[in-house]
Structure 1
Amino acid sequence: MAFRGEDEQTEDYLFKIVLIGDSAVGKSNLLARFARDEFYPNSKSTIGVEFQTQKMDINGKEVKAQIWDTAGQERFRAVTSAYYRGAVGALLVYDISRRQTFDSVGRWLNELHTHSDMNVVTILVGNKSDLKDAREVTVAEAKALAEAQGLFFMETSALDSSNVVAAFRTVVEEIYGILSRKVMASQELKKQDPIWIGNGKTVVLQGDGNQETDAAPRKAWCCSA
């Protein structure tokens, strides 16, 4: 995840975010609603990985969210695992009308942590909130799970657009907030130690480090609900 100069491209920041969760929970429609304000009632399961980009204004900075839609079917899991690399945010989606998709949340968290970083900014998303009469997962138990795992939580409906933008924006704003705090800390470090020189363009967000480098960025985020 890099900071870009104005001469290089228009956006100030580029964040990679992954959509994960069981097949048919509505990940692709959440992305379609967010990126293009579209909904496909007869959409087919994603094969492999697809991605869309969406620009957002966060505190006067232009942020491009590069959102990857990963296949939820088991036979594509090995193919998609590499695409977790570099992710700084995740939407973990389940279907409120299918309890088994909620029961899979722990497995998806384990996969996310295995292939990326334990502290990727993550929001638990209960999709299809329009299916109130078919609900199998209560808001209370989803909130309890999110709190226990240190996740944000929100219910959405790709069908009627409820909370779709808010869910994506929550993740992007949290990532941006962490980045801003790291940049401020690195500036303080330079003031305190004039010998320290950080002239790279990539901002590395490590757990306790406050350093800029030209090397490939490593991920470490601190995320709480």
Structure 2
Amino acid sequence: MASTTGTVSSSGSYNFKVVLLGEGCVGKTSVVLRYVEDKFNDKHVTTLHASFLNKKLNIGGKRVNLSIWDTAGQERFHALGPIYYRMSNGAVLLYDITDEDSFQKVKNWVKELKKMLGSDICLTIAGNKVDLEKQRTVAVEEAEEYANTVGAKHFHTSAKMNRGIEELFLELSQRMMERAQVQENERASSLGRAGSTRRNVVVVEDEEDEAAQTKSSCCGVAS
């Protein structure tokens, strides 16, 4: 199982990898371009394989560097998924609120992520294209209830209206920071315990060596 520990530098900055997953045409590229570059293109652009963009944040005085991977949603590229989402700290699973099938496919992605990365990865599920609310086919209650059952946060987004996207990535970043700090503390504690054990072993060995030397010296005098 791949590790999903985010890196924390000595200066206190965080580096995270976030992957966007979902069917083709749900708006993954539009969401990430709106977030990183504040751009929106009405024309659909098909992502081939994957691309990534970087975003720098300042949260509570801490610097956060996000590497956001935008993956292809077409069925023929699904086998490449693990190549792009391994070592991810967070995942945004997008569905189109007007496409029930795209929501059902999100459930498959969640199962795969949990199988490959365990429970360490922070999950966010987003119902995109809320500018098409009148055409909604995915019930809000159903989507939010499902997100709760898998430990994910749920957001409603629209790249066209620039709605919910900043909030989504901010909340996800905060969760990744909290998880990274917990993991860092656990690692430091583990190293501390290991160091203490090693020191105790050295002390015991020194005492045994000293006792052996003393015995040898005494015997030498006696003879």
TMscore range, shorter length = 0.7 to 0.9
Q: Deviations over 1:72-122 (max 9, x none)?
A: 101112233211111010001000011111121211112223443343100
Residue ranges of structure 2 left out of the alignment (5+ in a row): 1-5, 199-223
Aligned-pair distance for 1:14? 0.8
CA distance in 2, matches of 1:40, 1:114: 35
Amino acid at match of 1:4: S
Q: Are the aligned partners of 1:17 and 1:89 in contact in 2 as well (CA < 8 Å)? A: yes
Tell me the residue number matched to 1:54. Answer: 55
Give the match's secondary structure for 2:95.
strand
Tell me the residue number matched to 2:42. Answer: 41
Give the match's secondary structure for 1:77.
helix
Aligned-pair distance for 1:12? 1.4
CA distance in 2, matches of 1:185, 1:81: 27
Amino acid at match of 1:29: S
Tell me the residue number matched to 1:139. Answer: 140
Tell me the residue number matched to 2:215. Answer: none
Structure with the bigger percentage of helix: 2
CA RMSD of aligned residues (A): 2.1
CA distance in 2, matches of 1:193, 1:83: 34
Range with greater deviation from structure 2 (110-119 or 133-142): 110-119
Tell me the residue number matched to 1:72. Answer: 73
Identity of aligned residues (%): 31
Q: Which has the larger radius of gyration?
A: 2
Range with greater deviation from structure 2 (32-41 or 76-85): 76-85
Q: Are the aligned partners of 1:49 and 1:80 in contact in 2 as well (CA < 8 Å)? A: no
Aligned-pair distance for 1:192? 7.0
| TM-score of the two chains, using structure 2 as the length reference | 0.79
4, 8, 32: which one aligns with 1:3: 8
Q: Are the aligned partners of 2:8 and 2:180 in contact in 1 as well (CA < 8 Å)? A: no
Aligned-pair distance for 1:69? 0.6
| TM-score of the two chains, using structure 1 as the length reference | 0.79
CA distance in 1, matches of 2:68, 2:57: 12
Residue ranges of structure 1 left out of the alignment (5+ in a row): 198-225
Q: Are the aligned partners of 1:20 and 1:69 in contact in 2 as well (CA < 8 Å)? A: yes
Provide the aligned length of Structure 1 versus Structure 2.
193
Give the match's secondary structure for 2:34.
helix
